[in-house]
Amino acid sequence: MAATAKKFGRVPSGVARLATSPELLNGFLKLSAIFESTTLTALEREVLIMTVAARNECHLCVAMHTATLTRLAASPELVTALRAEAPLPEPRLEALRVFVHTVMDTRGEAPAEALEAFTAAGYTQRNALEVVLGIGTYTLSTYANRLTRAPLDEVFAEHAWHAA
The pLDDT value given to residue 119: 98
The pLDDT value given to residue 156: 87
Tell me the pTM. Answer: 0.91
Task: List the domain range (segments joined by +) for residue 88.
Answer: 41-159
Residue 96 sits in a domain whose CATH number is 1.20.1290.10
Q: What parts of the chain have a pLDDT lower than 50?
A: none
105 within domain boundaries: yes
107 within domain boundaries: yes
118 within domain boundaries: yes
Which DSSP state fits 148?
A: T
DSSP assignment of 9-39, as one string?
SS--HHHHHHTTSHHHHHHHHHHHHHHHTSS
The pLDDT value given to residue 55: 97
Phi, psi (deg, nearest 5) at residue 63: -65, -45
CB 83 within 8 A of CB 97: no
User: How many folded domains does the chain comprise?
Assistant: 1
Q: Which of 17, 78, 57, 46 is nearest to 139 (CA)?
A: 57
21 within domain boundaries: no
- The pLDDT tens digits for 129-158 are 999 999 999 999 999 999 999 888 888 888
62 within domain boundaries: yes
